[in-house]
A and B are shown apart, each in its own frame.
Chain A
Amino acid sequence: MHTTTEFVIAGFGGQGVLLTGQVLAYAALEAGKHVTWIPSYGPEMRGGTANCTVVISTEPIGAPLVRNPAVVIALNQPSFDKYEPIVRVGGVLAVNASLTTRAPVRTDIRVLAPHATEMAERAGSPKVAGIVLLGAAVAATGVLELGDIELALDKHLPAKHRDLLPVNIAALWAGAVLVAEPEI
């Protein structure tokens, strides 16, 4: 039986939304899965919200966009408001509680709402909040091993951010560890 998992990663331009999605996509490639990565590329990207959709599957992927993604990583309040209602029932919503002002309302999905910016700072840089949430979301779904993401970070982190590799890996695990705990 084939399994397909769709991720939407959304936030402000500059929060590393597209790069976080690419890290996930490369990790899927490392794991031998089929994968698509598609960004929103509209004028909305300039200073506004940015998002990308990553589909990971054990079979060749049809549609690269879906109505109800299995996983949403929301890095800011507008993305949280926009995507919370459309997460598939039984899916996962990882939201940065550092940058959002309300509690989630859905009870039919798994919500992970860590203070990701503070956690990222503790890991070494507030810029890697997206990787904290990625670690949490991937650990919650089990769609990939965290080692695949470490490998993807190692191979594909842009040269200018190369010095942040250990910080990214620390952030990844900080997010993943949250999932093992009963209450967040």
Chain B
Amino acid sequence: MPTELIKGNTAIAEAALRAGLDAYFGYPITPQTELLEHLARRMPELGRVFLQAESEIGAIHMVYGAACAGARTMTSSSSPGVSLMAEGLSYIAASDVPMVLVDVMRGGPGLGNIAPAQMDYFQIVKGGGHGGYHPIVLAPATVQEAIDLTYAAFDLAEHYRTIVVILTDGCLAQMMEPAELPPMRERGSPISKAWALSGAKGRERRVFTSVHMSPEEGEAFVNKCARQWDVITANERRCVSEQIDDAEWLLVGFGTAGRVAQSAMRAARAAGLKVGVWRPISLSPYPTPELKALAPQLRGCLVVEMNTGQMVEDVRLAFDGRVPVSFFGRSGGVVPLPEEVLEAVHRMIETAKEVVC
């Protein structure tokens, strides 16, 4: 039983530190600033690197350098700051070095506002920077899950030499919940980094570059990444569900919207409706086979997001026309309420009846 209430931002920061984070580079932005503040205090205490960069662009390129040198490294920001990091993320992906990014999404586009949103699903899940690379994207829904996923993220990033993004929002980041922190791990990665720039004395020099001048070389690199992505897709899908054994209607949401969907599901069950909830944790790779497997029992699916409809496209791809998929979203920083999701459930069921008649 947890004995502490921990704020999402602080929880993520402390979990990263306990996972053996060597070096953090970042720049303040609401609603993720407490994450940076926590590390600003804790990292120097432990003799590790905390550096507030001159900008997000500076921060991501410092991460790039630290990653090439084999450090466990991360940065964190919120939507507009992550946009500034897009170039560096693409170069990191092209250089095959591991890092963790925490994106605490807020209302957009543009400077938007500081309220919780999920409007950057496309940006993060489908890219981030240019060039069609795939990051692993993990979306926690509780403070405990944020801790557990952050703790696991560094091993994942280093095992696959990839970018891992913890994608969350201002709601979870600002919220306090009972949670337990994991033990402090020994510093230093458990994963061999025989590729890192560690000083070339006595061995052949190593070079990291995102330049592949010949198209054939470029294609060979991209194909290598694609094969690696097939392995990640096979191994790293994560999702959870509740009340789906007898469910005829499915609610789908990730992160905060997934929690709201869970509340709406309970209210629907209390009203005698056979509603279940399914929540992807890995948004990339998407748990497509797991979702598709539910199709035969379902009469309809309602996707809930804090945007105007982004992940709903991946749900439709998974069902491939086998299940009618409808959408309910609030955006611009508005968090949906379970009551309005329940109303959308009733509309979905009414619509399905009309179609049958």
Interface positions of A (Cβ within 8 A of B): 22, 25-26, 29, 32, 34-39, 41-43, 60-68
Q: Known contacts A35-B5, A41-B114; is A62 also within 8 Å of B339 by CB?
A: no
Contact: B266 with A62, CB < 8 Å? Answer: yes
Q: Is B3 among interface residues, defined by CB-CB distance under 8 A?
A: yes
Our count of residue pairs bridging A and B at CB distance below 8 angstroms stands at 69
Inter-chain CA distance A32–B264, complex, in Å, is 24
Inter-chain CA distance A39–B31, complex, in Å, is 12
Q: Known contacts A38-B171, A38-B174, A41-B170; is A63 also within 8 Å of B1 by CB?
A: no
Contact: A41 with B174, CB < 8 Å? Answer: yes
Picked from B2, B30, B261, B340, the residue with its CB within 8 Å of the CB of A41 is B30
Contact: A36 with B175, CB < 8 Å? Answer: yes
Picked from B2, B3, B31, B337, the residue with its CB within 8 Å of the CB of A65 is B337
Picked from B114, B178, B259, the residue with its CB within 8 Å of the CB of A62 is B259
Contacts of B113 in A (CB 8 A): 42
Q: Is B97 among interface residues, defined by CB-CB distance under 8 A?
A: no
Q: Known contacts A38-B176, A62-B259; is A26 also within 8 Å of B5 by CB?
A: yes
Contacts of B340 in A (CB 8 A): 67
**Interface bits B159-201 vs A (CB < 8 Å: 1, else 0):** 0000000000011001111100000000000000000000000
Q: Is B335 among interface residues, defined by CB-CB distance under 8 A?
A: yes
Picked from B1, B5, B30, B142, the residue with its CB within 8 Å of the CB of A32 is B1
Contacts of B142 in A (CB 8 A): 60
Inter-chain CA distance A66–B259, complex, in Å, is 12
Contact: B178 with A39, CB < 8 Å? Answer: no
Inter-chain CA distance A22–B176, complex, in Å, is 9
Closest 10 CB pairs of A and B: A62-B263, A62-B262, A63-B263, A37-B176, A63-B260, A38-B175, A62-B259, A63-B338, A67-B339, A67-B337
Contacts of A34 in B (CB 8 A): 178
**Least distance between B201 CB and chain A CB atoms (Å):** 51
**Least distance between B7 CB and chain A CB atoms (Å):** 9
**Least distance between B170 CB and chain A CB atoms (Å):** 7
Contacts of A39 in B (CB 8 A): 174
Contact: A42 with B176, CB < 8 Å? Answer: no
Q: Known contacts A29-B2, A32-B1; is A63 also within 8 Å of B114 by CB?
A: no
**Least distance between A170 CB and chain B CB atoms (Å):** 25
